[in-house]
Each structure stands twice: as structure tokens, then as C-alpha cells.
Amino acid sequence: MAEPDEDDDHIYVNEETELGTQRVRVAHAPARRIVPPLNFCPVERYLYRSGQPSPVNFPFLLDLRLKTIIWLANEEPQDTLLEFCDAHSIQLQFATINPDGGEDDNPWDGLTEHSIIAALQTIVNADNYPLLVCCGMGRHRTGTVIGCLRRIMGWNLASVSEEYRRFTGSRGGRILVELLIEAFDTRLVAIDQERAPRWLART
Amino acid sequence: MSDEVNVGDKLRALALRGPENLVQLLKQQDEELESKLGQDSGILDLHRAINEDPELKQRVSMILDKFYNMAERNEEDVDDIYDAEEHRGKSAARLRDVNVTEEVVPPENFSHIVGEIYRSSFPRPENFSFLQHSLRLKSIMVLIPEEYPSENTDFMAQAGIELFQIGMSGNKEPFVNIPWDLLTRALEVAINPANHPILIHCNRGKHRTGCLVGCIRRLQNWSLTMIFDEYRRFAFPKARALDQQFIEMYDEDKIKQIAEDKDWLPIRW
């Protein structure tokens, strides 16, 4: 085959196919590219964590058949996420970081004990599954909640910390978050054995 | 073609003159490859030239052994080497006080991958209870070529966990690559629901396991960017460009065929 002439104006036009006289067959259909959200990872069966999902992630989220998304911030997520949850009947739960309204809240504030317990109360109930826990980047707030969940599961602190730091990126973990996880009183989360996911059920 | 011969000749000449020259040339080729990654660069010819000449191959590997052993069998490589002595020492210490704690102790670098497929570093006796009671494993797949330690096999026999061993030696620079068919075999074990729940591990759970997980993600049609991001998260701080290249270049046709025939796709969450 001759090299295509670069000066040819019509190099990208195949007149035969454009006119529909000839069909082109390709051996492989182009694969659908699946894009999970930033910092996405399964935590337990049907429980997932990630950063804030954007429209490019929605096809992936549909594969997960989510029933609930816990959004760990006072401020609203992007409208697209709200619409997505609406359209697919996904329950979107906000973390109420500061129960008194939170006028002085900053997006970079850590979670309060109150908000951690609220999130965990949803997580220990398998009726809400499949469930995604997320925050802006899926690093510190999500890490706090998952860390406290691991404490409830009885994980040793070194493993909890290792998991937290895996998702914190180049700037590393925050000592305050780890102190919060370490000091978290696991008895504050009431676990209904009837509704608990299998991996939480006491044997 | 003529290029190839030239590289071979050049190498042979250099090898005769002394190891320093050869190592220097390899290093230079390496840097060139890095600077024009993605193009057909010299190192590929080098690779072929060395592999096609048994005598040269032996000589090169001898020289490399010498250099990498003494000078810089660098830290990265240490992770790839499963040290039975070290493992036994730590395990023995652990077995003595295994009842001290009731904490749940997952292995290092543990995580869920998809469904009931898990990944981790080499499990030690303190992790056995987690594997048996929390994960309720049916199988373990190990990706190291060395013999599996007896305390692990004893535990698995007692817990009724099946062992799959597919030994591979990692994408180590400069001339070691995981063969594709080995990876295909590993994938065949990993995504077969009959083996689930299954734990996949190598030594640190970074490189070989990372490659396998990357290929599982390819079967899930993940975008390469997110696959690499996940790979780096688990390999941190020792991510390897070669592993990521491997994940990208792995030919998935065969495993896709097998998986589709057996109705294993899509892999269930």
C-alpha cells in the first residue's frame, strides 16, 4: 500500500463508506472504558469508598447497583451527583458535621464524633447496601469513617493506619485523623445483629 | 535487522572488555528507553540480541549478578525475594505468643479487589485467624516461585483452604519479565468463582500482585489511568514503570476467551 499523501484534502474521507455503499467491519468493537471514581476501593462486600464521583464515573457506579451514598460534607456535592442519585433512586445521606447548623464550617475541617457515628450507624445496617462512602478526595473524611469502622471490626491499629495512609496521597496522613480513630469509642455505635452485614455479625 | 546484529556485536565486544563497560551501556540504553518511552527504542533490540545468543545471555547474567549482588541489589529487589529464613524466624516468634491478643490482624497491604477476591502481602501466623474466620477463604494463590512455608500449609490443611502456586519472578529491570501465559493461568484461577473467596499474594503484595490486579481491572474494562493509579497506591513508594507497561501491554484475548466461554464475565461485585 502506498503511503497516504499528506497534501490530499480528502485523506480522512472514504467516499465509498461515506456514501453507504460499503460497510466496514472491525474485528473488535471498541471496549467500553470504565472509569471508577478517584481513590475508589471496595472496603467490604457491597461497601465501597471513593472521592466525589463525577459524571464520567456514573456508568461505573451503575454497575455497583448502589442503594445508598454517604457524602461526608456539609456543603452539597455537585449538582450532577444529586441528579444522578435522584434518577436512580439512590439515597444520598449527608454527614451533619456540626449539629448546630455549622455556620463556621470549613471544607477542610475534620469530622466530628457526631458525624462519624451518624455515618457508621448507616454503614452497620445491611439494609442500606450496596453502599458508597465518599468525600471530596476520598482521603481524610472517608478515611476517618472507614478507620473507625475497622476499629469496630476489631482490627489492630497498625493495619487501620496503613489502610488510611494508602489513600492519603503524597502529603501523607494527618495525625489528628489517626488520633481520632484511635480514641474513637466503638461502643457508641449500636449494632443491630439482625441487620448487621455478615462480616460484622458476632459469632 | 542489521541494527540487531550491531547491538549484539557491540555487546559481545563490551562484555569481553570488562563488566563496567557493559553495565554502562545497559544503563545508557535504559535512560534512552525512558526518554523515548512508547517508541521502538534500542533496549528492545538489546533484549532480543541478548536472548537469542545463549552464550552472551549467560555472560551478561553473570556480570549482572555480580554487580547487582554486591553493589546495588537495590531495596526494590529485596522486596521481591522471599526469604524463608526471615519468614520462619518471625513466624516462630509469633507462634509463641499467638494467644496474647484478640485483635483482628489482616496481612499488610490487604484489600478487597472485587467480589470475594482479595489481595495482600505474605500472610504470617498472626493473620491466619483473619483469613480463616473473617474472610472464610476457600483458596489462596501465591505468586512466588519459592516453596511455601510449612506453617502456612499446615494452617491451610487445617482450615481446608486450597493452595494455588503460580511462581513468577516479577518485572525486574533489566531483563526479567513475567511471561504472559503465566499471568493468564493466574487470572484463570483468580476469576473462577469456584475458587472464591480467594486471597492473592506475593511477598509484599506490591508488584506481582499489582500486575495481576491490574489485569483483572483490564478484564473489567477500567481505564488505564485508574488502573495505574490503583497500582501505585499499593506499590507505594516503589511503583515500577515496567509493571505498568506490563499491565498495558498484556494480551487479554486468551483469558477473555476462556472467561467468556465459562461465563465468568462480568466479574461480580
The whole-number average pLDDT for the span B126-130 is: 96
The percentage of chain B sitting over the pLDDT mark of 90, rounded to a whole number, equals: 56
ipTM of the complex: 0.80
Residues of chain B numbered 131-150 and touching chain A (CB < 8 Å): 133-134
**pLDDT score of B103:** 86
**pLDDT score of B152:** 96
Domain ranges across chain B = 2-72, 80-261
Asked, for residue A126, whether it belongs to a domain, the answer is: yes
CA distance B98 to B119: 23
The percentage of chain B sitting over the pLDDT mark of 70, rounded to a whole number, equals: 69
Choose the weakest-confidence range: A13-22, A24-33, B149-158: A13-22
What b/e string do you get for A70-89 counting C-beta neighbours within 10 Å, with b at 16 or more?
A: bbbbbeebeeebeebbeeee
CA distance A40 to A73: 18
**pLDDT score of B41:** 44
pLDDT band at B45 (very low <50, low <70, confident <90, very high): low
β-strand pairing of B117-120 with A91-94? unpaired
Domain holding A84, by residue range, is 35-200
The 10s digit of each residue's pLDDT in A107-165 is 667 788 889 999 999 999 999 999 999 999 999 999 999 999 999 999 999 999 999 99
Is A23 a residue whose pLDDT tops 70?
Answer: no
**DSSP 8-state code for residue B42:** H
Choose the weakest-confidence range: A28-42, B47-61, B136-150, B170-184: B47-61
What total of structural domains would you count in chain A? 1
CA distance A32 to B214: 16
Is B98 a residue whose pLDDT tops 60?
Answer: no
CA distance A36 to A24: 32
The dotted CATH code for B80-261 is 3.90.190.10
Asked, for residue A113, whether it belongs to a domain, the answer is: yes
Instruction: Check if A135 is active-site.
Output: yes
CB contact (8 A) between residue B236 and residue A166: yes
Task: Find which of A22-31, A194-203, B210-219 is predicted with most confidence, using mean pLDDT.
Answer: B210-219
**pLDDT score of B8:** 65
Residue scoring higher pLDDT (B107 or A7): B107
Nearest to B115 by CA among B216, B30, B222, B231: B216
Residues of chain B numbered 115-134 and touching chain A (CB < 8 Å): 115-116, 133-134
The 10s digit of each residue's pLDDT in B206-256 is 999 999 999 999 999 999 999 999 999 999 999 999 999 999 999 999 999
**pLDDT score of B82:** 78
Neighbours of B168 (CB within 10 A): 21
Beta-ladder partners of A132: A48, A69
User: Mean pLDDT over all residues of chain B?
Assistant: 82
Asked, for residue A190, whether it belongs to a domain, the answer is: yes
Catalytic residue among B202, B211, B227, B259: B202
Asked, for residue A22, whether it belongs to a domain, the answer is: no
Nearest C-alpha of chain A: how many angstroms from B108? 7
Asked, for residue A13, whether it belongs to a domain, the answer is: no
Is B201 a residue whose pLDDT tops 70?
Answer: yes
Is B35 a residue whose pLDDT tops 80?
Answer: no
The 10s digit of each residue's pLDDT in A62-115 is 999 999 999 998 788 999 999 999 999 999 998 866 655 555 566 667 788 889
Q: Cβ contacts (< 8 Å) between A42 and chain B: which residues?
A: 111-114, 269
CB contact (8 A) between residue B108 and residue A43: no
Domain CATH for A96: 3.90.190.10
CB contact (8 A) between residue A199 and residue B134: yes
**pLDDT score of B39:** 46
